[in-house]
């Protein structure tokens, strides 16, 4: 994964729990990187080790950490210079979700080795949709729950999201029911 992801995890932990907690997590994960470079590629395993160590140090499940990270990611990427690109991807939650693959294609210009997930919206009704998530990567599905909640905040929309199908349970891909109501 690109360093931008690990840098975001670091910033989230430092903002909420402090620098010393981050140092403890890095030590436990046996990650000896002082500064993650946003545009540099790092092994996926390093990110998973950081999440696992954070789980132990913070006494939270990896799923809780990934959900919190997903929610943080929306705000973080907007502040890190991708806000305009996000603005172009939709004015509402469903419009944005429908354009996620296009957003990733544009991000891929800056990150040529990007292996983005794929999102598809189906069963779109006035205040609900089914969100299909496909990725070659393991362990990131809980992040989707947080991402959609973070997007709800971004679009001032109440969001309720539940996973309706799981790749971990043998499904071909993960699927979520998103019920939303603009405020």
Pick the last residue of a domain from 38, 60, 82.
60
pLDDT tens series, the chain, 183 aa: 888 899 999 999 999 999 999 999 999 999 999 999 988 899 999 999 999 999 999 999 999 999 999 999 999 999 988 889 899 999 999 999 999 999 999 888 888 888 889 999 999 999 999 999 999 888 889 999 999 999 999 999 999 999 999 999 999 999 999 999 999
Q: Is residue 56 part of a domain?
A: yes
Structure tokens that stand for 78 in this block: 């907007």
- Specify the DSSP class assigned to residue 172: S
What is the number of structural domains in the chain?
Answer: 2
**Residue 118, C-beta contacts closer than 8 angstroms, at least 6 positions apart:** 101, 133, 134, 135
Q: Is residue 20 part of a domain?
A: yes
The parent domain of residue 156 ranges over 90-182
Domain shared by 29 and 112, yes or no: no
């Amino acid at each position: 994964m690109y360093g931008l992801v690990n840098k975001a995890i670091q910033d989230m932990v430092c903002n909420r729990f402090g620098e010393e907690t981050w140092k403890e997590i890095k030590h436990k994960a046996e990650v000896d990187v002082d500064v993650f470079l946003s545009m540099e590629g790092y092994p996926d395993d390093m990110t998973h080790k950081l999440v696992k160590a954070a789980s132990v140090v913070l006494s939270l499940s990896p799923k809780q950490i990934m959900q919190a990270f997903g929610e943080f990611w929306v705000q973080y990427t907007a502040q890190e210079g991708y806000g305009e690109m996000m603005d172009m991807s939709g004015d509402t939650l469903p419009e944005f979700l429908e354009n996620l693959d296009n957003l990733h294609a544009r991000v891929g210009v800056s990150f040529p080795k990007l292996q983005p997930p794929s999102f598809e919206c189906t069963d779109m009704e006035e205040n609900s949709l089914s969100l299909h998530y496909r990725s070659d990567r393991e362990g990131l599905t809980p992040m989707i729950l947080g991402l959609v909640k973070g997007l709800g905040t971004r679009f001032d929309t109440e969001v309720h999201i539940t996973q309706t199908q799981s790749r971990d349970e043998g499904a071909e891909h993960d699927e979520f029911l998103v019920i939303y109501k603009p405020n």
